[in-house]
Amino acid sequence: MNVRYRVELNQAERSKLTALLSGGKHAARKLKRAQILLAADAGASDEIIATSVGVGGSTVYGPRAALLKATWRRR
């Protein structure tokens, strides 16, 4: 996919995602999305994120696009 979405999380969003990953039982899909967003915020490339999280490249694209759309709706 040609379109790239840049993920820039604020501290509250980062803390929420980190807390989600650090405790409790959650759906695997939700945990993978949290890992993807945190890695994208850290500046990792799509290929590196896909390899480290264990998903395909198109799976990395989805949470980024959803975050951008949600951010624009809040404004």
Q: What is the residue extent of each domain of the chain?
A: 11-74
pTM of the predicted protein model: 0.84
Q: What is the 3-state secondary structure (H, E, C) of the chain?
A: CCCCCCCCCCHHHHHHHHHHHHCCCCCHHHHHHHHHHHHHHCCCCHHHHHHHHCCCHHHHHHHHHHHHHHHHHHC
Residue with tokens 């951010």: 71
The 10s digit of each residue's pLDDT in 29-73 is 999 999 999 999 999 988 999 999 999 988 888 888 888 777 766
- The CA radius of gyration of the chain, in Å to the nearest whole number, is 12
* CA–CA separation, 24 and 38 (whole Å): 18
